[in-house]
């Protein structure tokens, strides 16, 4: 029950209820939804009325997020085209279409290694997950959006795409994600599919906290990657969920968070 100002002002009350259910009857896939920003996004989307699919390789946390959101967990390896195709085929079989894709799956390897120490194998692994994974998820999400007549895609880049990163592979791969999103936006506009790229800053995810811990182990003190000013995943999740809504229809291009 809404109380106070909202209860005394019907228009305001209607607006608040609209925000709470702004994703009602939308079908949204959150890739990387087991933990971190993906989990926060899935939970907020579900709270706002969406049917949520949690796609992740991490089955234990993915199932927990699915239970919390009353959604469906699908295990997927974003670097394997057959795995991605099967995951989105399951969504099509179950829901018939897809309204939104939030791609948050990503890895960071090689933090604080010099360029001489960095191996091509690690470099390729990071690109396979971050860039190829984003491409494959979009590739198989788009046909389901075309069935709906419109759609929204959000790719997750990073402030590391345009600033300093602890890893050569991570920073440059996120630049690739940003460019992929820009290209997708131009090419998918005629299909009524909107594409945005979100660049989170320093957020308290498992991946970020692992970098902070490694920095302490290597250098004995927190540096530029310290956790004193880390934001919460829910802050980014709220933005992701809003970008899935029709209220964001006029938003284009890149968005940046703290």
Q: For 210, how many CA atoms within 13 A lie in the half-sphere containing its CB?
A: 10
- Sign, CA torsion 6/7/9/15: positive
Secondary structure (3-state) at 39: helix
pLDDT at residue 13 in the model: 46
Q: Which residues are known catalytic residues? A: 170
Specify which residues 151 forms β-bridges with: 193
Q: Is 253 helix (H, G, I), strand (E, B) or coil?
A: strand
218 pLDDT higher than 90: no
Dihedral through CA 196, CA 201, CA 207, CA 212, nearest 10?
Answer: 170
Nearest to 102 by CA among 64, 69, 60: 69
The strand pairing partners of 102, in sequence order, are 30, 154
pLDDT at position 48: 97
The pLDDT tens digits of the residues spanning 33-61 come to 999 999 999 999 999 999 999 999 999 99
Partners of residue 56 on adjacent β-strands: 75
Predicted local confidence at residue 152, as pLDDT? 98
């Amino acid at each position: 029950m809404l109380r106070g100002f909202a209860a005394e002002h019907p228009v305001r009350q209607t607006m608040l209820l609209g925000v709470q259910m702004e994703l009602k009857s939308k079908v949204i896939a959150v890739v990387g939804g087991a933990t971190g920003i993906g989990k926060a996004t899935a939970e907020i989307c579900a709270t706002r009325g969406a049917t949520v699919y949690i796609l992740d390789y991490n089955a234990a946390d993915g199932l927990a997020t699915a239970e919390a959101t009353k959604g469906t967990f699908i295990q997927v390896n974003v670097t394997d085209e057959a795995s991605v195709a099967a995951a989105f085929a399951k969504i099509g079989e179950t829901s018939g279409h897809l309204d939104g894709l939030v791609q948050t799956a990503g890895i960071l390897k090689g933090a604080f290694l010099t360029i001489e120490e960095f191996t091509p194998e690690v470099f390729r692994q990071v690109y396979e997950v971050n860039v190829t994974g984003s491409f494959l998820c979009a590739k198989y999400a788009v046909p389901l959006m075309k069935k709906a007549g419109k759609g929204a895609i959000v790719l997750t880049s990073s402030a590391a795409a345009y600033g300093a990163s602890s890893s050569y592979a991570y920073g440059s791969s996120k630049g690739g994600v940003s460019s992929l999103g820009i290209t997708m936006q131009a090419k998918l506009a005629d299909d009524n599919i909107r594409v945005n790229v979100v660049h989170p800053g320093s957020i308290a995810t498992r991946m970020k906290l692992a970098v902070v811990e490694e920095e302490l182990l290597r250098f004995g003190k927190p540096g530029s990657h310290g956790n004193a000013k880390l934001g919460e995943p829910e802050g980014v999740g709220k933005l992701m969920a809003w970008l899935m809504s029709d209220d964001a229809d006029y938003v284009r291009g890149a968005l940046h968070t703290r």
